Structure 1
């Protein structure tokens, strides 16, 4: 399929993608799920199907930086419990992308964004008063892990939007901030790398898209550094409200556009 090249973009379009890449780095090291704004920007600037493939290497770069920062805080039993269901969701999402055209994918991403905004609101209501998850002693059952895993795998394959789903699962499992960030960092690094052959097989990643990715990766690093600095200082309640508002606007833009 026709992916997007660096030379097809206007200055404003590239600036929007660069901001989205910076936000990816920030979300991976500070506020998980904030990159739903990034995927909305990518889907509005680029063709909807192509945007999922172009965004994927940017997300992987953010995942690598998050793993380097929080690698000591991952909870591997939780990860092993999730992976089989996530794999099933990725397969379902791949089949959907084979069937769906660009208009359907664009509408689906918009709907997923609105769903993820609703998920984030529910997650915040279940958080502690200070906005942080509870103690890192996971207690959620197999059925819940399977349901969250399948939904997370599908949404991450179709729209790179598995963050809020996994955030809600990890919060319900009782993770504090560092355990939350470390576990989600390894989770998304493994899942996103596993998605590469699927995306390449669908024609969503090629040499031209990787050239655009190379130009955007330089913006992920300062975003990650900013997130590392801000994670202990950020007013999370205000930021999540802004993220929810931006996500809803992005989803409506895609649905109505």
Structure 2
């Protein structure tokens, strides 16, 4: 990890990182998936691989705030369905990072995000789309959870970009706004914390990156408060449209970056 670059960012670059940290807080309590913009900002200011290690503790701080805000709305059967597949995806993502370069990673994840957005929009136009979380015993629900879980674990490990994938899963399963936010809050807190040993082992997190995190994490709090205020003023239809739009933007920027 080229940590020396972390000591040489300009004032404007720090402002950009601070804004990205604020957007992380907003995305965790309002529009999940919007932090793909934060991913792009961090990767533009810092070396691409180093940026994932710096961003991870910022995401965990946002996850903690989201859990404190929406802890009563989590749907735990869905979480237990997802975790085994996500663990497999994290392992695959770790192995992928050992040999894949930045271009391969960006292209793969960008394509996956756009595919997931397209599938979700198609399903939403179908009269047969479900509006409630599928039963844990549903065979179709288990297959879908495993597929999205592996993709989510893979994308979150290689680029901290699991949010849009899981957003597409939760929307396709028919989650309403608060259930969506509560379930995703616990999901990403657990998953992101579990990624720390892998990221540290790959050299993506060290003492210097954590010092930059300490300077940036304070900006997550106002972002989370803005998100909590905004989410009560966004109706369900607009909320879902914003989530899908954020996913598309994230996929496109990963392909073009």
Consecutive unaligned residues of structure 2, counting only runs of 5 or more, are none
Show the counterpart of 2:110.
Answer: 113
**Are 1:135 and 2:132 counterparts?**
yes
Partner of 1:8: 8
Report the Cα offset of residue 13 of structure 1.
1.4
Cα offsets for 1:179-204 (capped at 9, x unmatched):
11100000000000000000000100
> What CA deviation, in whole Å up to 9, does each residue of 1:136-176 have, x standing for no partner?
55565211111111111000000111111111111222211
Contact 1:28–1:224 (CA<8 Å) still a contact in 2?
yes
- Which residue of the partner structure matches residue 189 of structure 1? 189
Indicate the residue corresponding to 1:250 in structure 2.
253
Structure 1: distance between partners of 2:148 and 2:16:
31
What stretches of structure 1 move > 6 A for 4+ residues in a row? none
**How far did residue 17 of structure 1 move?**
1.1
Match of 1:55 in 2: 55
Say if 2:25 and 2:221, in contact at 8 Å, map to a contact too: yes
Q: Deviations over 1:13-68 (max 9, x none)?
A: 11111111111100000011111111111112111111111110000000000000
Aligned partners of 1:36 and 1:113 also within 8 Å: no
Aligned to 1:80: 80
The alpha carbon displacement at 1:96 in A equals: 1.1
Q: Are residue 71 (structure 1) and residue 71 (structure 2) matched?
A: yes
State the TM-score, normalizing by the size of structure 2: 0.87
Q: Distance in 2 between matches of 1:246 and 1:143?
A: 27
Deviation for aligned residue 1:113:
3.2
Is the CA contact 1:43–1:106 (under 8 Å) kept in the aligned structure 2? no
Quote the RMSD (CA, aligned, Å).
2.3
Distance 1:125 1:68, change over 3 A: farther
